[in-house]
Amino acid sequence: MRRKRLVSIKSKILTHEFTESTEALDVLVESFIKPTFIKLYYIIRENVGDKYPNKKEELCAMSILGQYLYFRNARPIVFRLRHKEGYTDEDIREIAEHIINFSLEALNNYVKEN
């Protein structure tokens, strides 16, 4: 129960900071979002090589983060669209696999097109 309440508080803070940013957003970005972004950026760079300018790789990393943030922050919309009350462990695995496979396919096509 305590973990659930903590997750709820974190969600409320994130939601607030996405819509009405305060100084706390800098802490959230530096502590949580930026480390993930940097890891994604280097994973993308490994897969596409140094063929593209950093800006394109940054946009690809932001797109992948955007997928995660959508499924995380638009839960009420996702639940209604999928006729669900919440995410099950299986849903989370399915979404994670989808984001991975969708992103890898997009990156492969992006490399072919450019």
The pLDDT of residue 19: 85
Give the model confidence (pLDDT) of 17-50 as tens digits: 888 888 988 988 898 889 988 999 888 888 777 6
Residue pLDDT, tens place only, 68-110: 989 988 889 999 999 999 999 999 999 999 999 999 888 888 7
| pTM score, whole prediction | 0.76
Dig out the tokens for 47 from the structure. 């897969």
- The CA distance from 98 to 89, in Å, is 14
Distance (Å, rounded) from C-alpha 29 to C-alpha 35?
8
